[in-house]
């Protein structure tokens, strides 16, 4: 099985880093980060998602 990597645009990567920094202290950022991570996992499982 091939390894699948999800590559973010520069803007998306910047927002993702911000979410990771703010998540420990913000419930909203935690929920958004969790949703993003779930979508990344879906993409890894099903490339056509």
Rounded Cα distance between 30 and 21, Å, is 10
CA 25/CA 43 separation, integer angstroms: 28
Alpha-carbon Rg for the chain, nearest whole angstrom, is: 12
pLDDT tens digit sequence for 19-48: 999 999 999 999 999 999 999 999 999 888
pLDDT band at 49 (very low <50, low <70, confident <90, very high): confident
User: Cα–Cα distances in Å, from 4 out to 30, 46, 47, 48?
Assistant: 24, 10, 9, 12
Q: Considering the entire predicted model, what is its pTM?
A: 0.83
């Amino acid at each position: 099985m091939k390894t699948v990597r999800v590559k973010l645009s520069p803007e998306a990567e910047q927002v993702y880093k911000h979410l990771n920094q703010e998540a420990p202290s913000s419930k909203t950022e935690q929920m958004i980060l969790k949703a993003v991570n779930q979508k990344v996992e879906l993409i890894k499982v099903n490339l056509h998602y």
